[in-house]
Every structure is written in C-alpha cells, then in structure tokens.
Amino acid sequence: MERSMRLLTFFAAAALMVFAVGCGTQPKADEGYNPDNDEALQEAIANSARGEELRKLINETPAEEQRDMAYLIINMPEHDREAMDLELLKENVTYANIAREKYAWAQALPEEVYQCDVLPYAVVDEVRDSWRKELYEMFSPAVDTCATMYDAICAVNANIPRLTGVDYNTKREKTNQSPRESMRQGMASCTGLSILLVDAYRSVGIPARFVGTASWHDNRGNHSWTEVWLDGEWRVTEYYFPSQLDHLWFMPDASKSKIGDRTYAIYATRFAGADDWFPMVWADESDDCPIDALPKWVGAENVTAHYQALAYDQYTRHLEAGTHTFLRIAGYKERGKTEHSDDRVAMGVDVFRGTEQMGGGLTAGELRDMNDFFSVLLPKNTEYELRYYNAVGELQIQRVELGEEPITINIFLE
C-alpha cells in the first residue's frame, strides 16, 4: 500500500510538471547560458571591426537577456553589426523581454519563434530607429485585458490607425518607412504600413513577419502585408483588419502567383536561417532593374504554394456554396464610348464594403480581349463602393448594389 501511494505521488508530480511545461512556466531558456562558451557569438565578435564594443555590450547585458542579445549579434546583417546604434539594440532586447515576461502568449512561444519573429529590431531595410519601447507603451494598454493571443491580435489591429495616427497614403516620403518615419508623417503605403504592423505586434510579444510579392500577375506593382503566428500556424492579416484572418482582398491575385518566378512569387521574411532572399523592389528606383540585381541580404522563404492553396479553397468553396458572385468592372476613356477595344483603359480601382477593402486591381486596357474584365468575387446581396481616380486625379466613389447574379459596372476616366 505504501509503495502504491509513493507511485501515485510520483505520477501526480510528473503530471504537474508536464502541465507546467505546457503552460509556459518551464525554466527560462537562458538559465546556464554563458556567452564565453558560445562559439558563434565569439566568432561574430572576433570578426567585427568593433569587436570590443560588442564584447562590452554582451558583458553589460543582464544575464537573463544575454542569450537574446547574442542571437541578434550572431544573426544580424553585417552592416548592422558594424554600424548600428548599440543603445538601440539594448533597448530592443530589454523591452522584448518585458513583453515576454508580461504576456502569457509570449511566455508560451517556442524559443525559435520568439527569437526569429518577436525579438528582431527591424523588418526589412528600413531605417533602424527606436520603436519597441514607444510601441510597447502605446499598445500594451490595448492588450493588457486580452486573454488569448488572438484577442491581442484583434486589439492591435483595431487600435493601430488611432494610436499611431498613420493611414494609407501614396504621398508618403518613401516606400520602406520605419515606424517613426510613418508616424511623423501620419501616412505610409502598404510597405510602411506592414512594417509598422509587424513592429506593433512584436512590441507586445506577438510573433509577426513581413510578406509580399515583387509584382502581381498583371504587373501593376508590388504589394506588402503581414502574417501572425497563431496556434502553431502563420495566418494572414493586414493593417486594415479583415473580417477574419486569411481572408484578404488580394487573394484572387495571390491565386495567380507563380512559385518558380521571383517576380511573381510570394515571400515571407525570416531574420535567421533563411534559404532564400526577399526581393525588395523599392531598393532600386529604376523601373528596369532586373529582379536578381536587387539586394539579397534580407532572408525569406517562398510561401507561394500556401497562398495558392488558400485562394483556391476560399474561392472554390464560396462558389460551390452559392454565397458569392462576381462583380465585374470595365474601365473606359469616355462616357458613351464603350463599343470598341480602343475605348477601354486600364484604371486602378478598389472595392470596399464599409471601411474594409474587399478587392482591388486594374481594369482591362485596349489590348485585352473585350470579354476580359477585372472581376472580384464578393458576398451576395450587399452594397459596395468602387473607389478610383479620374483623369485629373480626383477620387471618384461609385456605390454598387450586388444581388444574386453577377453584374458588370463601367467606370470612366474622363
């Protein structure tokens, strides 16, 4: 009997240990870490022109933060290691750890996910500025009452335009703006918005990464967006929160991406351990720069197949269920002239349901078949807005009531 009780006690204790590990209360990953024994760190320091500064930095870093600091020093691009403000690096590590200690979802993250997708101080090639402390203080009140990571994701998205004061605007100073550059101007295009959203997530311990394509299939340019790591999977979102994760307005375009063509493939950034590179088309201002001539130092993985599968599933399922139909849009130069191919013009148009963007693209130009229309698959029996610019740059808004059957809407450049 006594032996049985001892066994029961042992198994109960073992079960509690398993439960504790599953709940993220396992011993900290940095226990027992000694930077002097980290060969990769010592090699990075020895090969740096400012090795003594880096050695002083790691030695002055609190013991519980040394492993994270070492990870950044080892994996950061060489030009950052040689020139970056080390005070900024210290602040980044300190506030990343503050968020990790504070939020249960951050505590429960696998170490690799935390280091690669929460800890990094930058997203792509934006200016290296101090953003983590500012964004942590800005967003922590919004997520402090959240019980789950999903709730926190929603809270960040719901509050980011209001808290940062940044909205989409192509009049921004440049494409790859840092968070502070975007907040100073109050505007950013898709790349700057994506950088800002990634950093806002990371500031409160949510793993996030930057995703994009060098060009859509119709050559209307690049697009950038964001993914968040939730329940072991990367999920798709954007600065202006969609009605649900993975359901973004550009999925029809994503379905036409090309996995083996770097111009039309989709890539997700990776801070360390990448086997590919992200095509930063904004890094060269010439329109005819070959894709392979772009800078290659931002690591990435090709995620085209994932987006093709998402798009196929979403559109096939909706059509089979009978819940959606197509809104077709044709662009013409002048009202009253819609009969001939040379009457048509390629116009950029976005489709909104309230404040949520549901689609966007180019109408077919004069060299396209007359039966070729820009089409968006949308929920039936709903009112939408078409937003586009006329020939003098004035924003036009056209309201459309979509019923049970597909309809075609004409828009005009005049």
Please report the domains of the chain, with CATH numbers, ordered by start residue: 126-310 (3.10.620), 323-412 (2.60.40.10)
**H/E run at residue 349:** strand 348-353
Q: Residues 210, 269: contact at Cβ < 8 Å? A: yes
Residue 171: strand pairing partners = none
Nearest to 339 by CA among 362, 370, 363, 360: 370
pLDDT for position 234: 98
pLDDT for position 257: 94
Q: What is the pLDDT of residues 317-359, one digit of tens each?
A: 888 899 999 999 999 999 999 988 889 999 999 999 998 899 9
Tokens of 357: 């963007």
Q: How far is Cα 106 from Cα 118, in angstroms, rounded to an integer?
A: 9
Q: Residues 91, 132: contact at Cβ < 8 Å? A: yes
Cβ atoms within 10 Å of 294's Cβ, excluding its own? 18
Question: How do the pLDDT tens digits run along the chain, 414 residues long?
Answer: 333 333 333 333 333 333 333 333 333 455 689 999 999 999 999 999 999 999 999 999 999 999 999 999 999 999 999 999 999 999 999 999 999 999 999 999 999 999 999 999 999 999 999 999 999 999 999 999 999 999 999 999 999 999 999 988 888 999 999 999 999 999 999 999 999 999 999 999 999 999 999 999 888 889 999 999 999 999 999 998 766 899 888 888 898 899 999 999 999 999 999 999 999 999 987 667 899 999 999 999 999 999 999 988 888 788 889 999 999 999 999 999 998 888 999 999 999 999 889 998 899 888 777 778 898 999 999 999 999 999 999 999 999 999 999 999 999 998
Q: Residues 64, 98: contact at Cβ < 8 Å? A: no
Which pTM value belongs to this model? 0.79
Kindly state the DSSP code that residue 18 receives in the 8-state scheme.
H
Q: Residues 304, 336: contact at Cβ < 8 Å? A: no
pLDDT for position 154: 95
**H/E run at residue 75:** helix 66-75
Q: How far is Cα 143 from Cα 159, in angstroms, rounded to an integer?
A: 10
